[in-house]
A and B are shown apart, each in its own frame.
Chain A
Amino acid sequence: NAGVTQTPKFQVLKTGQSMTLQCAQDMNHEYMSWYRQDPGMGLRLIHYSVGAGITDQGEVPNGYNVSRSTTEDFPLRLLSAAPSQTSVYFCASSYSNQGPKETQYFGPGTRLLVL
């Protein structure tokens, strides 16, 4: 199993550009989530999904969209990038569809710089 994969590893955007961060897992996990990590602030939840076709907002959803058309994939879309979205983005998944009550498996992260 590849586990949780994320692409790209690094990205530089100009303000106003849009892009999609890809996340995929091959463990048949129901729960998937996106976090952003900023220095000294830990990880903050952006969006999450408890299964295909179901998504919901986390703590900091503004400026981001998600979709979950398959169990495996959970892309994160930045609609119009802003410098405040410069961060490291982590995708995570866990087996249970009841939420994050089990081990969360994190992807390697995407480092995003918005100029």
Chain B
Amino acid sequence: GQQVMQIPQYQHVQEGEDFTTYCNSSTTLSNIQWYKQRPGGHPVFLIQLVKSGEVKKQKRLTFQFGEAKKNSSLHITATQTTDVGTYFCAAINNAGNMLTFGGGTRLMVKP
């Protein structure tokens, strides 16, 4: 089945540093979604990317969808302690009826 690989698995940063997580697939994706899960919480939808080369911004978060629609990234500028959590990408399978999640990147921010 379709798989999405996410790297890195963990990332420690100093508050104020930037952070990036990457999502890669061997097959072309129809779209990709990003979620954030705070420690002990549930996943919360952040954004969905659909178009090749698409770039979307939410305050300090920048989301990109690759030109070939096989990879995506989430970049956080000047991290804050409130950014702590695990970030997941998720892709819809070819049949359009299931979401496949990446393994997630756990972000830890030192104040």
Contact = CB atoms under 8 A, between A and B. Distances in A.
Contacts of A104: 33, 35, 43, 45, 90, 99
B108 to A, nearest CB: 15
Contacts of A108: 41-42
A84 interface: no
A106 B42 contact: yes
A68 to B, nearest CB: 14
Contact of B97 (A42, A48, A103): A48
What is the interface residue range for chain B against chain A? 20 to 34
Contact of A99 (B33, B42, B98, B104): B98
Contacts of B103: 40-42
B96 interface: yes
B101 interface: yes
A48 B97 CA distance: 9
Interface in A36-79: 40-45, 48, 50, 56, 58-59
Nearest to B31: A101
A15 B100 CA distance: 29
